[in-house]
Structure 1
Amino acid sequence: MNTTTRISTAERLGRSVGRGWRAYARGERRLSCWLASKGMPLAGATVLVWVVKLVALGLLFYAAFWLALVLLVGVAAAWTASNSTVDDDRWTQPDELRNGEAGFGLYSSSGQRIDPHDPNDPFND
């Protein structure tokens, strides 16, 4: 029997996210210290980092808004298309040229000749 404990996928994912967050915090702190070493006050560097964070958050919300709007328009168009009533006469079998009881001509799907024709015309048969 194996006595080693295996961590779950959720725990592994949580640890990865935690490592990423710590790396981000270290980078942010390193940026603040670099800005302070270049002569910017520490409070100003902190404010600048927060402004960058808020701008990034605003851009994400902006993109999410447009994505949601496109999705909403798509859903509304699909709903409208599925609930629209259509004239069923338009969707019957198309008229076709064929040789029928009244000679060669344009016939409907019910077999009636629908184009004007002269029954005495010798070329009609």
Structure 2
Amino acid sequence: MNTTTRISTAERLGRSFGRGWRAYARGERRVSSWLASKGMPVAGAAALLWVVKLAVLGLLFYVAFWFAVVLLGLAMAGWAAATTPSDEEEWPFTDLTELRKTPGYDPNLYNDISHELYTDD
């Protein structure tokens, strides 16, 4: 019997998310201190970081909006395709005599073997 405990996938995922968050916070502190070392006030560095965060958030919302618009358009196109009537419209010339009266009628194109101008190739 194996007595070693194994961590679950959720715990592993939570730990990796936590490591990523700590790395992000560490990088943000490093950028803030670098800006302060270059002569920028600490409040200005914090404000600049917030502006960058808000710009990234705005960009994400912009991309998500257009992604949702495209998905909505695809859903509407699918709905429209599904609700079209299944019976297709008939050819407007249902009667052969009406078809023969049209200008430029060629019996070979319509396989009209009863027409006098029909030639079998």
Provide the TM-score with structure 1 as the length reference: 0.72
- Deviations along 1:46-75, whole A, 9 cap, x unmatched? 010010000000000000101110111111
Q: Which residue of 1 aligns with 2:98?
A: none
What secondary structure sits across from 1:53 in the alignment? helix
Q: Which moved more, 1:80-89 or 1:65-74?
A: 80-89
Give, in whole Å, the separation in 2 of the partners of 1:12 and 1:117. Answer: 80
What secondary structure sits across from 1:89 in the alignment? coil
- Deviations along 1:1-47, whole A, 9 cap, x unmatched? 22211100110010000000000000000100010011101010001
- Deviations along 1:86-125, whole A, 9 cap, x unmatched? 43535xxxxxxxxxxxxxx746xxxxxx56614xx8x78x
Give, in whole Å, the separation in 2 of the partners of 1:70 and 1:39. Answer: 46
What secondary structure sits across from 1:40 in the alignment? coil
Give, in whole Å, the separation in 2 of the partners of 1:16 and 1:22. Answer: 10
Q: Which residue of 1 aligns with 2:115?
A: 117
Q: Which residue of 2 aligns with 1:89?
A: 90
Give, in whole Å, the separation in 1 of the partners of 2:90 and 2:80. Answer: 20
Q: Which residue of 2 aligns with 1:4?
A: 4
Cα RMSD for the two superposed structures: 2.3
Taking only the aligned residue pairs, the percentage that are identical comes to 63
Q: Which amino acid aligns with 2:44?
A: G
Q: Which residue of 1 aligns with 2:68?
A: 68
Q: Residues 63, 115 of structure 1: CA spacing in aligned structure 2 closer, same or farther, 3 A cutoff?
A: farther
Q: Which residue of 2 aligns with 1:80?
A: 80
Q: Which residue of 1 aligns with 2:33?
A: 33
Count of residues in Structure 1 that have an aligned counterpart in Structure 2 = 102
TM superposition outliers: structure 1 runs of 4+ over 6 Å = none
CA shift, 1:81, in A, is 1.2
Structure in which a larger fraction of residues adopt strand: 1
Provide the TM-score with structure 2 as the length reference: 0.74
In the alignment, structure 2 segments of 5+ residues that lack a partner are: 92-107
